[in-house]
Amino acid sequence: MEIERTDTPAATARRLMRALDRATLATSLEGWPYASLVLAAVDHDASPLLLLSDLAEHSKNIARDLRASLLFDGTAGRDDPLTGARVTVIGEIQRIEDQHLVSRFTARHPSAAGYAGFADFHFYRLTVARAHLVAGFGRIHWITAEALLSPPAPALAAAEPDILDHMNRDHSEAVDLYANRLAGRTGQGWRLTGIDPEGVDLRLGGSVERLDFRVPVRDAEGAREALVQLARQAREQS
């Protein structure tokens, strides 16, 4: 995964978190570090979201100690992985009961909808304390939570379900153009799975993609203008 745009460390870290659909979760098992692979999504402000089973070792660890970290690894496909970007996000994991966040996670991971309602599965949010970004040799930064998290956009969050439904139902051709021409991905049937102030998330089967907006958006009208701009840009691509 390429995360090459020169930007602030916080923006680079946030872009990486938004682009990836999985992470390595580190919890404490009787004082020992315990790492496990988890599916991940993020809230509009980039706070990580997880769906965990009570039966999993990491959930048992969290019940004893809320402190945890998530490694988002963007080094896949590189000849030298150490030249790629990765970010470790540190904080406390707490259970959430928020239908909007549940919807964001299951839209990002459609397969999760089949077991999200099971009694032994619960949704969690990582309350970020700080993050550590390694974006290649010599590009190493500690990032505060205040810098990492983007400002909330409640109007956009409220409009998100309708925007996704409208785009996937009425503008599926444009969504495919986003993936094929702007992201360089193949295949038809791509779907928008999320929209936040900084961009949109796409998915086709097991493949995910991220497209950034030129400027942040705060509401449905701003999102409409940004999506139209992406479609125009895609059609202009040879």
pLDDT tens digits along 12-56: 999 999 999 999 999 999 999 999 999 999 999 999 999 999 999
195 occurs within a structural domain? yes
For the chain, the helix, strand and coil percentages under 3-state DSSP, each to the nearest 5:
35, 35, 30
Residue 2: which pLDDT band, with cuts at 50, 70 and 90? very low
- Is pLDDT of 57 > 90? yes
User: Which structural domain, as residue segments, surrounds residue 70?
Assistant: 9-148
User: Around Cβ 61, how many Cβ atoms within 10 Å?
Assistant: 22
pLDDT number for residue 238: 61
- How many structural domains are present in the chain? 2
Number of C-beta neighbours around residue 94 at 10 A: 11
Write down which residue in 91, 121, 148 finishes a domain: 148
Number of helices (H), then strands (E), belonging to the chain: the values are: 7, 11
Same domain, 98 and 138: yes
The verdict on pTM exceeding 0.85 is yes
